[in-house]
Amino acid sequence: MANRRITDLTESTALTSSYYMTVYDPNEVADIQPDGYIDYNKKIALKNFANLPSQSALTWYGTSADGDLSTTASISFANLTNEAVLKNYKNLTINTGHTITTSNYSGFLVIYVGGDCIINGTLTMTGKGARTTGSVAHYVYQAKGFMGSYIPMFFFPVSSSTGYIPIYPIGAVGGGAGTNGTAASYGQTGGGGGGYTGSSGTYGTSWAGGTGGGAGPSATGGTSYGGAGGNAVTPNFGGGAGQPGGLGGGGTGLSGGTGTGGFIMLVVKGSLTIGSTGIISANGVAGGTGTAGGGGGSGGGRVIILYTKSFTNNGSITVNGGAGGGTAPTAGGNGGAGSITIREVSVF
C-alpha cells in the first residue's frame, strides 16, 4: 500500500537547490506518477525563488474535484478490501443522523476539504481497520503563522513551529490473557485485548488496531496485521474481536465482533466545526461473550485532523478500544485506545 503525503511534491530530480528537501519512502524504488504518493526521489518546496515560503503547497488541501457535499443520506464509499479511499471536496457538511464510512475494511479514509467542513453527523472508521501489514509515512506540516527557517523535519520531533505527523507501521502491544491491550503512544493504534484465561491480543498497525485473543483453554491468539480474532475452543468461552471475529467455543460462547479501529485523516483548509451531535470515530469492537469467559476486544485506530482557519469541537472524537467480552470477573481484556492528532497548519 503506497503512502500519501499532503505536501507539494514534484517529480523532478534536477531540483537540487537548498529551496527543496528530498522526501522518500525507502520501500519505493521509482517515481510512478505525480499524484501525491510518496516515491523514491520526490522533493518538497520549502521556499520559492524569491526566498519566501512557497505558496505552491496548495495541494495540501486536495483538488476539490468532488465538489460540494451536504449529505442527504448516509454514505458508504465503495472500496475493495484493504483499498484506501481518498475524497476531495470543496466544502463538506455531514448532516445530523447521517454517517460517512467505507463499505469494506480499508487502508485508510482521507478527506481533503478545500473550504469549510461541518460535522453534525458521523464520520467513522470504527471496525474498518485494514487487514494488511503496516507502513511508514510522515505528513509534513507547518504551524499556522510560522515564517521562520526550516529544518530537516524527518530528524526532529514535532514542535510548535514545523515538524511532521508520524504514521508508525507497528502499533501498541496486545494484552496477555485476560488483560487489556496497551493504549497507543503518540502516532500509534491500540493493542488488542487478551481473552479470559486464554490467549493474547496482537499489536496494532498503522491502519488498524490490534486483534483480540480467544478465551479459555487451548484458545488461539489474535492474528497479526489486523487479521482474525482468536478462536475459543472450549464451550462457553468467547472469541476475540478481529477481521473477522474469532469463533466462540459453542454453548454460551459467542464469536468476537468483526473489525478493528481504522484510520481517518481529515484535512480542512477553512473552518472545521463539529456540532453537538457530531462524531468522528475510529473505535475497536467488542470481544465475544461467554458465561465461562469473554474474548478480547480489538484496539482503537488513528485519527488525524489538520485545519487552517479555525476548529470548533462541541461533539466527540474517539479512538476507543473495544470492550472485552463478558462481565467481571470473567471478562476478556479491553482493546487499547488509539491516538488522535489535531494540528493547526499553514501553507508555505
Could you report the per-residue pLDDT of 264-318, keeping only the tens digit for each?
Answer: 999 898 899 999 999 999 999 999 999 999 999 999 999 999 888 899 999 999 9
Write down the pLDDT at residue 264: 95
Write down the pLDDT at residue 278: 98
Pick from 323, 292, 329, 289: which is nearest to 217 by CA? Answer: 292
Read off the C-alpha cell for 207.
491502519
The Cβ of residue 150 has, within 10 Å, a number of other Cβ atoms equal to 18
User: Taking residues 25-42, what's their average pLDDT?
Assistant: 39
pTM above 0.85, yes or no: no
Q: Of 136 and 111, which is predicted with more confidence?
A: 111
On the question of a cis peptide bond just before residue 244, with omega within 30 degrees of 0, the verdict is yes
22 — phi, psi (to 5°)? -70, 135
* Residue given cell 470515530 in the structure block: 281
Write down the pLDDT at residue 163: 53
**Length reported for the chain:** 348
Read off the C-alpha cell for 91.
466544502
- Residue 188 in contact with residue 166, Cβ under 8 Å? no
